[in-house]
Amino acid sequence: MTDETWIELFTLELRVRRVPGAAIGDAVASVRELLADSGQSAEEAFGTAREYAAALDLPTVDPRQHALQVVFLPVLGLFTFLVFALASTAWFAGNLVLLSVAQAALLAVPVLLTVMFSFPFYPRAVFRRRWLPVALVVIAGIVSAIAALLAPSTAEEAWLVLSPLPLLIGTMTVLIILSVIGTIATVREGDSYEITEPRQAPDESSPRQVGRAFRIFVNWIFPILAIVIFAMTWGFTLLRP
Containing domain of residue 183, as a range? 67-100+151-191+201-239
Specify whether the CB–CB gap between 98 and 158 falls below 8 A: yes
168 versus 201: which is more confidently predicted?
168
In one-letter notation, the amino acid at residue 44 is E
The residue that leads in pLDDT, 221 or 137, is 221
Residue 40 lies in a domain: yes
Number of domains in the chain: 2
In terms of domains, do 7 and 96 share one? no
For residue 95, the model assigns a pLDDT of 86
* 158 and 79 part of one domain: yes
The answer on 79 and 10 residing in a single domain is no
Compute the half-sphere exposure of residue 144: CA atoms within 13 Å on the CB side of its CA: 16
Predicted TM-score of the model (pTM): 0.69
Judge if 82 and 10 occupy the same domain.
no
Cβ neighbours of 103 (radius 10 Å): 22
- Summarised one tens digit per residue, pLDDT across range 112-159 is 877 776 676 776 666 666 666 677 767 877 887 787 777 787 878 888
Greater pLDDT, 240 or 12: 12
Span 196-209, pLDDT tens digits: 665 554 445 455 56
56-65, 85-94, 102-111, 174-183 — which is least confidently predicted? 56-65
